Amino acid sequence: SQKIEQNSEALNIQEGKTATLTCNYTNYSPAYLQWYRQDPGRGPVFLLLIRENEKEKRKERLKVTFDTTLKQSLFHITASQPADSATYLCALPGAGSYQLTFGKGTKLSVIP
Amino acid sequence: EAQVTQNPRYLITVTGKKLTVTCSQNMNHEYMSWYRQDPGLGLRQIYYSMNVEVTDKGDVPEGYKVSRKEKRNFPLILESPSPNQTSLYFCASSSSRDEKAFFGQGTRLTVV
């Protein structure tokens, strides 16, 4: 089955800087990859989906890249704000099944 | 308002006492799934359903049952709960596995 690694459990950055989170996967290359935000005690909220034929996708201050050669997706938040503090999860579909598998997430803290 | 509704939000029960956590969505989604979230282990898929009467196991199905008799409902059944099923549970729905998922508010289950 697909193994997903998100670069670190926790990431602290200064307000106004760009946060970069990493999602690496092994085995097969998925047709797409999703990113979610999760606040403590709440359900994940969808942010972005990027497909294998898309190198980059943007939404306001968010940018996602997808490198199928490196088997990696990068998630960027520019001009970060304390309100961006949350856990960010990446998710990939299973191969030959209808599963959707999530990484363990990276907890981002934006320090004022 | 588009939403996924889980009930109950909190539940404390005793070992062996059968329980059902309900999940309902109002978006006419075909794909629904259940996840459990544990510290250090992230979100793990328990079961998923591609449509009415079509369900399949996720990564951690042992000790759980599901049914999909109607499109909008996808209950999670614990026939004989055990303490290792103490967890935070999320139901999710999407128009297909490959589209963004909407998550419920979560059910915090404690089995003593």
Cα–Cα distance list, B105 to A28, A58, B18, B23, B89 (Å):
32, 27, 22, 10, 9
The answer to whether the CB atoms of B56 and A105 lie below 8 A apart is: no
Query: SS3 for chain A, per residue?
Result: CCCEEECCCEEEEECCCCEEEEEEECCCCCCEEEEEEECCCCCCEEEEEEECCCCEEEECCEEEEEECCCCEEEEEECCCCHHHCEEEEEEEECCCCCCEEECCCEEEEEEC
Distance between CA atoms of A99 and B47, rounded to whole angstroms? 9
Q: What is the pLDDT of residue B4?
A: 98
- Which of B100, B102, B107 would best serve as a mutation to test chain A binding (most A beta carbons within 10 A)? B100
Comparing CB atoms, the residue among A34, A36, A98 nearest residue B50 is A98
Comparing CB atoms, the residue among A1, A46, A99 nearest residue B101 is A46
User: Whose CA is closest to B37, among B88, B77, B109, B91?
Assistant: B88
Instruction: For chain B, give the mean pLDDT.
Output: 95
Start-end of H helices in B14-106: none
What is the average per-residue pLDDT within B3-19? 97
The C-alpha of B31 sits at a distance from chain A's nearest C-alpha, in angstroms, of 9
Comparing CB atoms, the residue among A93, A97, A101 nearest residue B98 is A93
Cα B81–chain centre separation:
14
Determine which of A38-42, A49-53, A94-98, B59-63 has the lowest per-residue pLDDT on average: A94-98
Q: What is the pLDDT of residue B50?
A: 93
pLDDT of B110 strictly over 80: yes
Comparing CB atoms, the residue among B44, B48, B92 nearest residue A98 is B48
Instruction: Categorize the per-residue pLDDT at B99 as very low, low, confident or very high, splitting at 50, 70 and 90.
Output: confident
Neighbours of B46 (CB within 10 A): 23
Whether A70 and A63 have beta carbons less than 8 Å apart is answered as: no
pLDDT of B98 strictly over 90: no
Residue type at position B86:
T
Q: What is the pLDDT of residue A1?
A: 64
Instruction: Categorize the per-residue pLDDT at A100 as very low, low, confident or very high, splitting at 50, 70 and 90.
Output: confident
Tokens of B35: 């996840």
Tokens of A79: 């001009």
Identify the contact set of chain B against chain A, taking CB-CB distances under 8 A: 4, 31, 33, 35, 40-45, 48, 50, 56, 58-59, 88, 90, 92, 97-106
pLDDT digits (tens, 9 = 90+) for A7-23: 778 999 999 999 999 99
Q: What is the pLDDT of residue A94?
A: 78
Instruction: Categorize the per-residue pLDDT at A77 as very low, low, confident or very high, splitting at 50, 70 and 90.
Output: very high
pLDDT digits (tens, 9 = 90+) for B35-90: 999 998 989 999 999 999 999 999 999 999 999 999 999 999 999 999 999 999 99
The C-alpha of B6 sits at a distance from chain A's nearest C-alpha, in angstroms, of 11
Instruction: Categorize the per-residue pLDDT at A90 as very low, low, confident or very high, splitting at 50, 70 and 90.
Output: very high
Cα–Cα distance list, A42 to A13, A45, B24 (Å):
23, 9, 17
Whether B96 and B83 have beta carbons less than 8 Å apart is answered as: no
pLDDT of B97 strictly over 90: no
pLDDT of A96 strictly over 90: no
